[in-house]
């Protein structure tokens, strides 16, 4: 008999979670203004709001915490992190930050100015926010296959070269500070970018004199998909693939709370010394000295270990297999999801799930709230709320897909939890025809509204 798959780790510590009643959850949602971000963690049974900073660290990482060097400048922990980042990415210079959006803030303070355009593949919320707050524009050049949930294209995060070249031709070079490749592409469903596409984007960009940067929060998961799906890559190690990926860029930002396997942290890695020097000044202003940048030494030490662990095949196979397990369960139940299943989350298509809810009443948010009411599971909307308003017209931007993201924390839940989630979503799906009204906004901030928006039932 062939032995079944088993996770390459065992559990050393557990945390108690409490199931609530439907009546409690309905009241809590009213108190939270129907915004899942406003719920207390104690009101959530299974938390799929994000995979950012919510995973479990390894024994090696906990050990590293105890040996962290808290020196203000030039700490041993910084050296460990610098060496690890350089070995994995090939980039010479490192600037730690307290998380990924801080890395964006520092780097974009150097590179992005009023009137600029930044092409890429479906920029995520904070990325677009940092661009638009500087009165610049993010231009989505993702391939069209990414927006057909049933298309099985293996690299739906790829950039369409024709769309990208049109941006390069229609704007002066001085208006395009860089092209941004997000790996994996969160907004299109946690979808990977192929090595072939990265190389082609680099060659096209070089021909126009435009540098390429990476948004690298889930770079290791991207490398796993390259190994599994791209011809000729199956016999290479994850670390070898990562080194080649980053060879096609001038630098990267990183939210270490994803593929760094830590609860806090981020960084910028670069090859350009001039950009590094300018970014160093903004790091000191916004974050801290350039060898800690808002991170404690112990956290840098844990991150160095986490980056090493996250770029090993056995870990990635366990992590992504669990996401696929949940996705396949939902497909078995007839739930419309983005296919192929992404690396860090399953994305449910709310437009097909709740066809009776008008788009102006936020069907993806409506579905997320129904899943919470059903079973105490917190998810997140990747739809019109997140797409925000056009900064000039102040009208809603309606994306091609209205998704509910079920983001799976790393090394945190078991497959029994996945079965519970799938059953809950199935229960909502079976009563989908009863759901015909969504929600209206009663208050929202100027930008990044989905984090703090207030809603009421329509």
Of 82, 202, 257, 258, which residue is the catalytic one?
A: 258
Of 116, 125, 140, 259, which residue is the catalytic one?
A: 125
Of 51, 140, 215, 299, which residue is the catalytic one?
A: 215
Q: Is 217 one of the annotated active-site residues of the chain? A: yes
Of 9, 30, 31, 72, which residue is the catalytic one?
A: 72
Cβ atoms of 364 and 381 within 8 Å: the answer is: yes
Of 128, 339, 344, 450, which residue is the catalytic one?
A: 450
Of 45, 93, 124, 362, which residue is the catalytic one?
A: 124
Q: What is the 3-state secondary structure (H, E, C) of the chain?
A: CCCCCCCCCCCCCCCCCCCCCHHHHHHHHHHCCCCHHHCCHHHCCEECCCCCCCCCCCHHHHHHHHCCCCCCCCCHHHHHHHHHHHHHHCCCEEEEECCHHHHHHHHHHHHCCCCCEEEECCCCHHHHHHHHCCCCEEEECECHHHHCCCCCCCCCCCECHHHHHHHHHHCCHHHCCCEEEECCEHHHCCECCCHHHHHHHHHHHHHHCCCEEEECCCHHHHHHHHHHHCCCCCCCCHHHHHHHHHHCCCEEEEECCCCCCCCCCEEEEECCHHHHHHHHHHHHHHCCCCCCCCCCHHHHHHHHHHHHHHCCHHHHHHHHHHHHHHHHHHHHCCCCECCCCCCCEEEEEHHHHCCCCCHHHCHHHHHHHHHHHHHCEECEEECHHHHCECCCCCCECCCCCCEEEEECCCCCCCHHHHHHHHHHHHHHHHCHHHCCCCEEEEECCCCCHHHCCEEEEC
Q: Is 219 one of the annotated active-site residues of the chain? A: no
Q: Is 155 one of the annotated active-site residues of the chain? A: no
Q: Is 163 one of the annotated active-site residues of the chain? A: no
Whole-number Å distance between alpha carbons of 264 and 267: 11
Q: Is 258 one of the annotated active-site residues of the chain? A: yes
Peptide bond into 31 cis (omega under 30): no
Q: Is 439 one of the annotated active-site residues of the chain? A: no
Q: Is 450 one of the annotated active-site residues of the chain? A: yes
Distance in Å from the first CA to the final CA of the chain: 56
Enumerate residues 6+ apart whose C-beta is below 8 A from 329: 418, 419, 422
Of 103, 136, 138, 217, which residue is the catalytic one?
A: 217
> Which residues participate in catalysis according to the annotation?
72, 124-125, 215, 217, 258, 450
């Amino acid at each position: 008999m062939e032995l079944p798959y088993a996770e390459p780790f065992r559990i050393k510590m557990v945390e108690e979670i409490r199931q609530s009643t439907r009546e409690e959850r309905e009241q809590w949602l009213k108190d939270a203004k129907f915004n899942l971000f406003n719920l207390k963690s104690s009101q959530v049974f299974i938390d799929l709001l994000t995979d950012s900073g919510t995973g479990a660290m390894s024994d090696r990482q906990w050990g590293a915490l105890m040996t962290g060097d808290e020196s203000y400048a030039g700490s041993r922990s910084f050296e460990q992190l610098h060496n690890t980042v350089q070995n994995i990415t090939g980039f010479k210079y490192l600037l730690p930050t307290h998380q990924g959006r801080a890395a964006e803030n520092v780097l974009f303070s150097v590179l992005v100015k009023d009137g600029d355009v930044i092409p890429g593949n479906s920029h995520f919320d904070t990325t677009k926010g940092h661009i638009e707050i500087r009165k610049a524009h993010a231009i989505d050049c993702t391939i069209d296959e990414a927006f057909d949930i049933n298309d099985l294209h293996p690299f739906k995060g790829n950039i369409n070269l024709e769309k990208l070249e049109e941006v390069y031709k229609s704007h002066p070079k001085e208006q395009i500070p860089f092209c941004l490749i997000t790996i994996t592409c969160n907004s299109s469903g946690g979808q990977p970018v192929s090595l072939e596409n990265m190389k082609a984007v680099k060659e096209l960009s070089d021909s126009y004199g435009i540098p390429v940067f990476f948004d690298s929060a889930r770079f290791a998961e991207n490398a796993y998909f390259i190994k599994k799906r791209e011809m000729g890559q199956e016999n290479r190690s994850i670390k070898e693939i990562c080194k080649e990926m980053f060879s096609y860029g001038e630098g990267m930002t990183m939210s270490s709370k994803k593929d760094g396997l830590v609860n806090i942290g981020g960084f910028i890695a670069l090859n350009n010394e001039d950009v590094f020097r300018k970014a160093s000044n903004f790091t000191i202003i916004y974050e801290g000295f350039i060898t800690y940048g808002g991170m404690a030494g112990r956290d840098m030490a844990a991150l160095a270990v986490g980056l090493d662990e996250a770029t090993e095949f056995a870990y990635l196979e366990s992590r992504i297999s669990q996401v696929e397990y949940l996705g396949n369960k939902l497909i078995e139940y007839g739930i419309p999801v983005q296919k192929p299943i992404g690396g860090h989350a399953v994305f449910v298509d709310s437009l097909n799930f709740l066809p009776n809810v008008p788009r102006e009443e936020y069907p993806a948010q409506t579905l997320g709230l129904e899943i919470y009411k059903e079973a105490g599971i917190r998810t997140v909307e990747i739809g019109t709320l997140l797409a925000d308003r056009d900064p000039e017209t102040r009208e809603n931007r309606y994306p091609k897909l209205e998704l509910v993201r079920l983001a799976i924390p790393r090394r945190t839940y078991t497959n029994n939890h996945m079965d519970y989630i799938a059953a809950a979503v199935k229960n909502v799906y079976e009563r989908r025809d009863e759901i015909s009204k969504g929600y209206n906004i009663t208050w929202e901030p100027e930008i990044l509204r989905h984090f703090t928006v207030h809603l009421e039932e329509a």
